[in-house]
Amino acid sequence: MQISNRIAPWEVLSFRPALRAFFRNKVQEDEIDDLVQEVLIRMHGRDASGIDNLEHYVIRAARNVLRDRYRRDQVRRRQDHCELLEHDHPPDDMSPERILRAREQLATTLQAMDELPERSRTILVLLRWEGMSYSEVAELLDISVSAVQKHVTRSMRHLMARVLERHESQADIEPSGERGVLDRRRRMACSSAVN
């Protein structure tokens, strides 16, 4: 009968207080239990035959877990994320009116896209929908990057003008109030962006 050299679960669990103390000053309080759990999972079932000091080995595993977490956070840019709190991000109201307005705006945009010259439309589709870069589009169409930029600028002006025309014509029809006529400053800002 062969005696197992695996680390027993109760041996690892005995290091739980030491792991909590190790993580206490390094991470936020609500993250400690998750990190301890990750260390315990890594240690479970490990071969103990080459381990001289189990406590040192567990703390080294904890350092590795902390290092891996830091690397993961850097890649995911965790510090740039914000919490989803209801007062900061109220629930989205998908009313029938809002859905109708979105569909009308999409139809207006698609109609305005059809009014663009073929090359401008192709460039816009490649950039916005296919996710290509300006240099990739320029190489594909055998034109300069500045030519691509000029096509995009003209196309965006045209699209914005059409959407604003449609929006202003609807605002003139609607009764005044919360969703009535656009206020003057907003219209001026939008029209200056187009020009």
pLDDT in tens, the chain (195 residues): 344 566 666 666 777 888 888 888 888 888 888 888 888 888 776 776 777 777 888 888 889 989 988 888 777 776 666 666 666 666 667 788 888 888 988 888 889 889 999 999 999 989 988 888 999 999 999 999 999 999 999 999 998 888 888 777 766 555 444 444 444 444 544 444 444
Q: Quick one: pLDDT at residue 102?
A: 85
CA distance to 117, 137, 153, per residue, from 144 (Å): 18, 9, 14
Quick count: other Cβ atoms within 10 Å of Cβ 95? 9
pTM for this structure?
A: 0.41
Angle 29-43/16-24 helices, nearest 10 degrees? 140
What is the model's pLDDT at position 135? 92
Phi/psi region, residue 85 (left: phi>0; alpha: psi -120 to 50; beta: rest), is: beta
For residue 157, what pLDDT is reported?
A: 92
Q: Tell me how long the chain is.
A: 195
Q: What is the pLDDT of residue 137?
A: 92
- Collapsing DSSP states into helix, strand and coil, what is residue 84? coil
Q: How high is the pLDDT of residue 92?
A: 66
User: 178: left (phi > 0), else alpha (psi -120 to 50), else beta?
Assistant: alpha
